[in-house]
Amino acid sequence: MYTTYILYSLKLKKYNSGQTMDLEKRIEEHNRGKTRFSASGMPWILVFSKNFTSRTDAILLESKIKKRGAARFLNDNNIPVG
């Protein structure tokens, strides 16, 4: 199973999107500060996720989110945040 996700940092007021095979582990990595960017935004909150059976489909949605921008994507799909 593959998951496309959007996380939000209240501290930075920024979104982070991606795709993974293990969503729980990925969120933990963000909240452990694995990268400089993720460390500066802790804690990261899951605001959207969608599961897929193929990685290709997960990557396609991730690309769509990144092109549109996470905030606009969420707004376009009437997904409330915070």
Give mean pLDDT, residues 35-42. 89
Per-residue pLDDT, 79: 84
- Is 21 domain-assigned? yes
Count of structural domains, the chain: 1
pLDDT band at 82 (very low <50, low <70, confident <90, very high): low
Per-residue pLDDT, 36: 86
Whether the per-residue pLDDT at 80 is higher than 90: the answer is no
- Is 27 domain-assigned? yes
- Is 82 domain-assigned? no
CATH number of residue 24's parent domain? 3.40.1440.10
- Is 10 domain-assigned? yes
**Domain around 49:** 2-76
Between CA 64 and CA 57 the distance in angstroms is: 11
pLDDT band at 72 (very low <50, low <70, confident <90, very high): very high
Rounded to two decimals, the pTM is 0.92
